[in-house]
Amino acid sequence: MSPPDRGESLEQTPRSFGYRMPGEWAPHTATWIAWPHERSDWPGRFSAIPEVYVGIVEELARGESVEIIVESSEAEAGVKRALRGADLPLDRLRFHRWPTDRSWLRDSGPTFVVRPESARQPGSVGGVRWRFNGWAKYDNWRRDATVAQRIVRVAGRPSWVPRLNGRRVVLEGGAIDANGRGFLLTTEECLLSSEQVRNPGMTRGQYEEVFSRYLGVDSVLWLPRGIAGDDTHGHVDDVARFVSPTTIVAPLEPEPADENHASLAENRERLQEWAYERRSLRRVVELPMPDPVRFRGRRLPASYANFYIANASVLVPTFDDPHDRAALSVLRSEFPGRRVVGIPCKDLIVGLGTLHCLTQPEFSTGAEPS
């Protein structure tokens, strides 16, 4: 039985078919990205951004296919020219000519869920299509709102549209992180604070119901807030990430005068309490924070936690900062079977996001979610 492209009743949600959001380290069929084109996102720095993307594609293609969304046939030709000098297996690249507003595919794309192989049913992959509204702050988002449906259609995956009381649920992929065994991280600032207008009036319990029904989540840890400079109102992928079913990495800021010091310490305390209460979560590992990165007087949301776990590599944002080496060392110890590589992101972060923000993993059929 194939799940329908809809879902309101409990019987018609991913959980009822045995699907669950996996940890990002589960095997990928591909990583989806959208080639950057919105120059206003990187004022005065846009010329440096395509080169960063070339490096990202080069690393991703070491272990999986890369699905690249471009604006037009002309844009595709330009991207192919940019990639020509890279060390790439060209058979792992596929292009899709779809107009978009921005290139932050983590937030506009679908969340892929997996049903593992069992004696009773074959493994399979599905997609959860959240409603996207430009982080409830930008006017140009309507083309991005079509991307999730396009991706699951091309990927040939069944999909669901989360609804609560008849209304589509707004959510971005950067707001959540999962371990594949039913645990999920998010922040109160992003989903519950008065500053966000994604789903007005939606309660903690209602979010947890949606996460259970559509992502197979059993337990949600609500961290207080995100980092300074984050224009998403506190996405969790800058403050805490699962690196295995039993381990979370989280940055700390030791400088008391830094505006991230108190909030990251509070997040860490809540993580430790949660790990203590749930014995299956064994470790909370400290990541450093880079020194503050500013552009035209504005604090930018630079964080080493915005890494991306690919099949063959872990791509880590670096900022030409004294703490880069320590961050890479921490993550190398957590991913001994993968190449952990720094991607220079000092220009990329001017667009208020880095590597996790721009990638969307499509998991493999039957991938074990733990």
- Given a contact cutoff of 8 angstroms between Cβ atoms, the answer to whether 33 and 67 are in contact is yes
Listing DSSP states for 265-284 in one string gives: HHHHHHHHHHHHHSTT--EE
Longest CA–CA separation in the chain, Å: 59
Distance CA 242, CA 158 (A): 26
Distance CA 75, CA 68 (A): 11
Listing DSSP states for 36-102 in one string gives: ---GGGSTTTGGGHHHHHHHHHHHHTTTSEEEEEESSHHHHHHHHHHHTTS---GGGEEEEE---S-
**195 C-beta neighbours (distance < 10 Å), count:** 10
Is 190 a residue of the active site? Answer: no
Which residues 6+ apart lie within 8 Å of 40 measured at CB?
A: none
- Given a contact cutoff of 8 angstroms between Cβ atoms, the answer to whether 260 and 228 are in contact is yes
Task: Compute the residue count for the chain.
Answer: 370
Q: How many CA atoms lie within 13 A of 22 on its CB side?
A: 26
Could you say which of 239, 357, 358, 367 is catalytic? Answer: 357
User: Which is it for strands 241-244 and 111-115: parallel, antiparallel or unpaired?
Assistant: unpaired
Q: Which amino acids are annotated catalytic?
A: 357
